[in-house]
Each structure stands twice: as structure tokens, then as C-alpha cells.
Amino acid sequence: MKFHYLILPAALAICSLSACATAPPASDKPAVTDADMAAQCEQLRIEINRGEVARREAASSSAFPVIAEAAEAREDQKVEQVRQRYAALGCGRAPRRIP
């Protein structure tokens, strides 16, 4: 029984010194092509534009100013999150903000 306790630490030590510790993990994800990246960037541009329109229209969505301001802030937050994803993908310059 004592023999099993000695094998595991020795196997771990050997593995940490060999190629099994430095081998990159296998990836099941397919490589992202330029066309895929362009499609993702285009989709994010569309989301940004829709969010900007929704933010602008949120001001007139309620008779109560507090509710309208909250709706506008929520849409503004959504647009900012999409803009951050857009920048993280390296899509270039984001669409301009609609006043």
C-alpha cells in the first residue's frame, strides 16, 4: 500500500519537468477568420446604432422625468457595454454617439 503513495508524487514531478507541463491545451474552438471578425464587428455596429436610437427615444418614453431619465441611463449603459465589446475585438473606430 505504501508504494502507491510514492508513485503519484514521482509521476507529478516527472510530468512537471517534461513536455506535458508545457504543451498547450487542446482547443476545440475553430479559428476565427477575418470574415467572422468583420461580421461580428458589423453586428456590434448595428447594436450600437440601435442602442443610440433607443437611448434618444427613452427621454420621451414616460411622462415622469425620473422614469425617463432611468430609461435613458439604462440604454446608455447598454450602449457603453456594446462599445466596450467593440473596442475589445479591435473593430476600429466605433460609430459616433447620437446626441
Buried b (16+ CB within 10 A) or exposed e, 24-33: eeeeeeeeee
Q: What is the pLDDT of residue 2?
A: 53
**CA–CA separation, 66 and 68 (whole Å):** 5
Cβ–Cβ under 8 Å, residues 40 and 86: no
Q: What is the pLDDT of residue 35?
A: 84
Tell me the pLDDT tens digit for each residue of 23-32: 556 666 666 6
**CA–CA separation, 3 and 23 (whole Å):** 29
Cβ burial of 48 (10 Å; 0-12, 13-18, 19+) is buried
